Structure 1
Amino acid sequence: MSVRTHLGPHLSAAEADPAGLSDEAYVELLGADGEELDALAAIADGVRREAVGDQLTFVANRNLDTAVVRDPDHADALVDEAWALGATEVCVQGPLPADVPDRAPLDLVALVTGRLPLHLHAFRPAEVADAAARLRLSPREFLIAAREAGLGSVPGTAARILDDDVRALLTDGTDIPAARWIELVTTAHEVGLRSTATMVYGHVETPAEQVAHLRALAAIQDRTGGFTEFIAMPLMPEAHPAGGFPDVERQRGRQADRPRETRALHAVARLLLHGRIAHVQAAWPKLGPELTTAVLRGGADDAGGLLLDGALDPAAGAEAGRQLTLVQVEALAADLGRTPRQRTTVYGDPPPERMAVLRA
């Protein structure tokens, strides 16, 4: 691709060897705008096509709140409803209530997987550490016990930016250190559990710190091969624990630049992670329709989860009320010129009978 701009050499290099650029080159590409950004997105889209073809994948899933462990009968009803709606995955994120018994982490696994053959996606790194402490086990021992009880995979969320200064600023010092996050995710992979890989962006971090974060994920993948997909999520202002940001004016500028930054980041992630993490997900609940479509045209290939709400407890989970329908996925795929494909959590094909339930 011939683009006569100051990023032209980096774009040409990315087209020839997507994962072979220097950190400095990726940092410069993160600043792409206008014609350069369009060219970067087109190159990333070509890399996406080479890596995974022209499919738009999605998973039929449902979020449950960790508080369900307090009410097994209600949990049974929610799991039954998820199954009846066509879900293949149940996702549980968030800390366990402080007042539940020490055995609650394994009880939670049994409540979901002991009832129906659903894939349970649960226990972020900090929650792995908490569960292990409750059970007086090492994280490795807990993860093995949870896997044997039926846990299918762990969310690689709460990664934010893998830089301790940034993490401390964003969570008022309550986040686990970056090295601990890496250790716990790596341990999950080592015991046979896959995970997502994530980044929360658009706050106080620099482009260089974004590239360093992607490099850290790539290094983990080189060691374990455990990541299923990469998901970049913009930080929502209401998520800051202090109710605001240390530099309000800077954040306003960052919000205004979000569409450009989002497109550039997804494209650079596709390039840098090429040959390591095959799938890049568009986090549609946080991006909205227009940006979701834009990143799917610029390196992303997966639409993520449908987030089936159901009727019994539609308020469960941080993404309550945000549901993607099968009709919407199929319309999006048609607009992109791709074939929609329902997948499992680890990108296999669901049993035909489960696909039929979702389409009924």
Structure 2
Amino acid sequence: MTTSLTDAEAVELLGADGQDLEDLCARADAVRRELVGDQVTFVVNRNLNTERVGADLSLVHDLVVEAASLGATEVCVQNPLPAGAPDDGYLDLVRTIAGAAPGIHLHAFRPAEVADAAARLGISPRSFLERARDAGLGSVPGTAAKILDDDVRTRLAGGPDMPVARWVELITTAHEAGLTSTSTMLYGHIETPAQQVAHLRLLAAIAEKTGGFTEFIAMPFPPAPGAALPVNSRPSVRETRALTAVSRLVLAGRINHIQAPWPKVGTAVAIQLLRGGADDLGGLLIDGVLDPSAGQEQGISLTRDDVATIAAELGRPARQRTTRYDLL
């Protein structure tokens, strides 16, 4: 299913408020229901931050074993390896995680880390991704997309950033290597509504070409205290609801799962998003007891009971899923 929406119409809808916003969210929710049904999905996962666990493969092994014992089906690895790690450190990390809990899905390596790993090994990104896939990597995060506009990216970074063409090349290569990925937008800073729509259109075009995106996640930009950038204040709930609904309409038939990122917006807003086009809550982000600080979001987690409560408030069933959206 696709929805017919011009760029101008999408930009106008991003500004919807009052009854117009309620109508937009109802329209997006109807599309959600037609595409993916009524279930509210979630994945049981654990995040590991390389800046916290470093290259301690023994610790990583034990953390993965613990995560699997707690019911996790997915382990996410965030951030690059330290500069002093072995050249094949990324592949060692994949082997360690895959060997610690056979069947666990490893979600790791943003485009920047893919480029870093390939450079350390002196091989192409495609070769690295193929080796990592064969070693046990299942998917890559489609993060660091920010806004897929070179001028915006440069201004946000305060200098050169990975060009859009390079980001697209690396994500596309991952898809072609048989790895799925998420897709994201970091919004609510210096971008315009037109640039948000262009970002969604580019993601849709990649999805049409590769079929490799599993979901879309819009994440609000957190303004830093004293930031020099002329950023907006934190995006309003109105903006977040409108963007989620427009994303559903623009991406329908291309990226069919829209996440309500509860760690970024809170559960109350996540419930509103699930009423306005979103269908997925994302990961529970379990901490465990061995080393709770191993994940970047320490102390921010949901339980299955929390998900059941949210789903009950919506009058919809809660269903655990895999990373690739097979229902368990």
SS at match of 1:121: strand
The letter for the 1-side match of 2:167 is: W
1:152 aligns with one of 135, 138, 144 = 138
User: Counterpart of 2:148?
Assistant: 162
Distance 1:311 1:174, change over 3 A: farther
* Cα deviation, residue 269, structure 1: 0.2
SS at match of 2:263: helix
SS at match of 1:91: strand
* Cα deviation, residue 73, structure 1: 1.8
Partners of 1:39 and 1:217 lie apart in 2 by: 25
User: Counterpart of 1:74?
Assistant: 59
Deviates more, 1:263-272 or 1:285-294: 285-294
User: Counterpart of 1:356?
Assistant: none
Give runs of aligned pairs for residues 81-92 of structure 1, distance below 5 A: 81-92=66-77
Say yes or no: does 1:332 pair with 2:317. no
* Cα deviation, residue 31, structure 1: 0.4
Does the 8 Å contact 2:287/2:295 carry over to 1?
A: no
CA displacement 1:286-323 (0-9 Å, x = unmatched): 00122111111000000000000111221223322110
Aligned residues: 326
User: Counterpart of 1:8?
Assistant: none
Say yes or no: does 1:62 pair with 2:40. no
SS at match of 1:323: coil
CA displacement 1:214-251 (0-9 Å, x = unmatched): 0000000010000000000001113x9xx514225xx2
SS at match of 2:145: coil
User: Counterpart of 1:211?
Assistant: 197
* Cα deviation, residue 337, structure 1: 1.1
Say yes or no: does 1:178 pair with 2:156. no
CA displacement 1:6-38 (0-9 Å, x = unmatched): xxxxxxxxxxx9621110000000000000000
Partners of 2:301 and 2:161 lie apart in 1 by: 29
The letter for the 1-side match of 2:229 is: P
User: Counterpart of 1:14?
Assistant: none
Say yes or no: does 1:316 pair with 2:294. yes
SS at match of 2:100: coil
Give runs of aligned pairs for residues 252-331 of structure 1, distance below 5 A: 252=233, 255=234, 258-331=236-309
The letter for the 1-side match of 2:94 is: V
* Cα deviation, residue 77, structure 1: 1.3
The letter for the 1-side match of 2:312 is: A
2:120 aligns with one of 134, 151, 157 = 134
SS at match of 1:219: helix
**Over the residues paired in the alignment, what is the CA RMSD in angstroms?**
1.4
SS at match of 1:80: helix
- Normalising by the residue count of structure 2, what TM-score does the alignment of the two structures yield? 0.96
Does the 8 Å contact 1:18/1:47 carry over to 2?
A: no
| Structure 1 unaligned regions, length at least 5 | 1-16, 351-360
The letter for the 2-side match of 1:199 is: M
Deviates more, 1:314-323 or 1:19-28: 314-323
Does the 8 Å contact 2:48/2:296 carry over to 1?
A: no
Does the 8 Å contact 1:237/1:245 carry over to 2?
A: no
User: Counterpart of 2:30?
Assistant: 46
* Cα deviation, residue 69, structure 1: 5.2
Does the 8 Å contact 2:42/2:321 carry over to 1?
A: yes
The letter for the 1-side match of 2:313 is: D
Does the 8 Å contact 2:62/2:100 carry over to 1?
A: no
Does the 8 Å contact 1:69/1:108 carry over to 2?
A: no
User: Counterpart of 1:12?
Assistant: none
User: Counterpart of 1:112?
Assistant: 97
Identity %: 63
Partners of 2:57 and 2:285 lie apart in 1 by: 22
The letter for the 2-side match of 1:155 is: P
Say yes or no: does 1:224 pair with 2:207. no
Partners of 1:247 and 1:101 lie apart in 2 by: 40
1:247 aligns with one of 225, 230, 234 = 230
Distance 1:312 1:175, change over 3 A: farther
Say yes or no: does 1:97 pair with 2:82. yes
Partners of 1:72 and 1:317 lie apart in 2 by: 15
SS at match of 2:203: helix
| Structure 2 unaligned regions, length at least 5 | none
